[in-house]
A and B are shown apart, each in its own frame.
Chain A
């Protein structure tokens, strides 16, 4: 039996790198191509149980309801926000104003009355959806100063039928 010459250094086996690199590059290209960058998206949850409009009108309007009226210009941009009888205008800080206004109603975030309160949004038919969404956001809360957590104001949001619906066929 022939024994290996232990005196000689064991020969180093070179693994074949080329095929591995080929495959690895293929994988790399595959993952690079399938990558699609998606902006993080968030939700605003709104519960809207089915109500008959006739029933709704019979129900006495609760004192705790806050009515927010969103008035649009002809082109669908925001003209005015009205909370109760207060006009907030349409300036750049109007949603911060709406946020403050809601805070006045609920006194303190998380207070007992804020649980029962409801915000009713009444928007013009042609108002752009982004303003409605911002109004929903302003009513539901604000970010705390650290910007990480949401301070909840009012969770219950409902929509009144839109104002100024175009007539059929127009």
Chain B
């Protein structure tokens, strides 16, 4: 009987399939990650509608307003007053006028007419309609005329 004289060879794990899969995963995550700064606030629970289609052309500049409530971890509303979540601040909806004024001034400095800048309203499903209308009115007073209501796309 012949006995191998060599040391037992180190079992070499074949790395190729694993690397293949890992690259696939990286490619997948790279593709679906969007680094785009979306100004969405997770406290806002948008209403859903099957007709809500993502816009085909995205405006270069837009003013996104998140209107929602203070919610606890379970998602229950803790404060019946609706706020606008704006740059980390919480502003009651009806006190947003000065901020519109400020935004309008910034757009004018950039040589843009506020009238061409769409105001994207991401309002919570439970916000009062009248409050949203009041907000639109405040925006109009500062020269904004284009509005868009956001809703999540409901797939039935």
Contact = CB atoms under 8 A, between A and B. Distances in A.
A67 interface: no
Given A47-B145, A162-B129, 11 more contacts: A24-B26, A28-B26, A39-B152, A40-B54, A42-B151, A50-B143, A127-B128, A128-B125, A129-B127, A132-B132, A143-B50
Interface stretch (B2-10, B30-38, B83-91, B101-109): B30-38
Given A129-B129, A129-B132, A130-B125, A42 B52 contact: yes
Contact of A76 (B47, B122, B126, B148): B126
A30 B122 CA distance: 29
Interface in B6-30: 15, 18-19, 22-23, 25-26, 29-30
23 contacts: A27-B26, A28-B22, A31-B26, A31-B33, A35-B32, A42-B151, A43-B55, A43-B120, A43-B148, A43-B151, A44-B151, A45-B148, A46-B148, A47-B147, A48-B147, A76-B128, A126-B128, A132-B132, A133-B149, A134-B49, A143-B51, A147-B50, A159-B133
Interface in B44-65: 46-47, 49-55
A41 B51 contact: no
Given A128-B125, A137-B52, A17 B15 contact: yes
Given A42-B51, A137-B52, A140-B51, A47 B146 contact: yes
Given A125-B128, A137-B51, A39 B146 contact: no
A100 to B, nearest CB: 15
Contacts of B25: 28
B22 A125 contact: no
A106 B156 CA distance: 26
Interface residues of B, number: 53
A147 B35 CA distance: 30
A42 B47 contact: no
A42 B127 contact: no
Interface string B127-139: 1111111101000
Given A38-B40, A40-B152, A150-B53, A24 B22 contact: yes
A162 B147 contact: no
Given A40-B152, A41-B46, A35 B29 contact: yes
Given A28-B22, A137-B49, A142-B51, A46 B29 contact: no
B49 A38 contact: no
A81 to B, nearest CB: 13
Given A123-B130, A126-B130, A162-B129, A48 B136 contact: yes
The 10 closest A-B pairs by CB, nearest first: A42-B52, A125-B130, A31-B29, A130-B47, A162-B130, A130-B125, A43-B148, A123-B129, A44-B149, A132-B129
